[in-house]
Amino acid sequence: MAELVNVSADAATRVGVVTMCGAPNNYLNRSVLDAVLDGLRTLDDDPRCDAIVLVAEGKHFCAGRDFTAPRGPGDDSASVYRTAASLFDIATPWLAAVRGGAIGAGFGLALAADFRVCAADAYFWPNFVTLGLHHGFGTTVTLPRLVGPQRAARMLMSGAKIGVGTEAATGLTDAVVPTDELVSAAVAFAEEFARNPAPAVRAVRATMRAGLRDQFAAAAEHESTEQSRLTNAKKTTTESGNQEKRA
């Protein structure tokens, strides 16, 4: 089986890199999320590493869930969201290096990071509502922290695509760089805090993210419940319509 992620660390920069290997779309499922978490944990425990970059091979950072693929045990949205809460157990600051799309659950993954360094071609797409679904992956908590409740509500209710070079992306991006310089620029960004004493950086980070794991977990649980409710309602409506056609 092909590797889901690659992990590397550089003692000179004190920055580690986790690379998702699901090109071109890097769809997110339970196995991929588990692999990402394992990579982050490995670097979290690595004494050479005081900052982490999460990047992806291929066209998109993460195109979200693949709704055409079969789902195995533990790969339902509720299980994925519960697992995603562990992203907030990583003590080392980490950033998402985003090229192409961060779509649906991929948007949620990018928002879980401390920072987002984006290629010029990158975009965010909170598209759940366009599919008739409630937003998930804790975005109802993580997005308002970055852009405020009013702007977050507009983004989540409209489901519009957000290019990183637009005013709408303010607060979502910490840097926008040429696409071919994304990884090096993300590592340089991470070095800004990796060069400082790690205990101080981690303490500040822990203070600023205090309670976020529990908030994320509670929001994700509610989001999952709402997704199930809307999915079941849509299924019931479809079945009723089919019965009417047959009558």
Its domain, for residue 41, covers: 5-222
Strands (E), the chain: 5-10, 15-20, 51-56, 94-98, 101-103, 115-119, 123-125, 162-163, 175-177
Task: Specify the number of domains making up the chain.
Answer: 1
3-class secondary structure, 8: strand
212 assigned to some structural domain: yes
106 assigned to some structural domain: yes
Please give the model's pTM, rounded to 2 decimal places: 0.93
82 assigned to some structural domain: yes
Give pLDDT tens digits for 188-222: 999 999 999 999 999 999 999 999 999 999 999 99
The amino acid occupying position 165 is: G
Residue the block writes with tokens 């091979």: 57
**What distance lies between CA 238 and its chain's CA centroid?**
32
229 assigned to some structural domain: no
Backbone angles phi, psi at 237, to 5 degrees: -65, -40
| Separate counts of helices (H) and strands (E) for the chain | 8, 9
232, two tokens: 């079941």
Mean pLDDT confidence for 74-79: 88
246 assigned to some structural domain: no
Between β-strands 162-163 and 123-125, what pairing exists: parallel, antiparallel or unpaired? antiparallel
Give pLDDT tens digits for 5-53: 999 999 999 999 999 999 999 999 999 999 999 999 999 999 999 999 9
Residue the block writes with tokens 């580690």: 16
228 assigned to some structural domain: no
127 assigned to some structural domain: yes
What integer pLDDT is reported at residue 236 of this predicted model?
Answer: 61
235 assigned to some structural domain: no
| CATH code of the domain in which 88 resides | 3.90.226.10
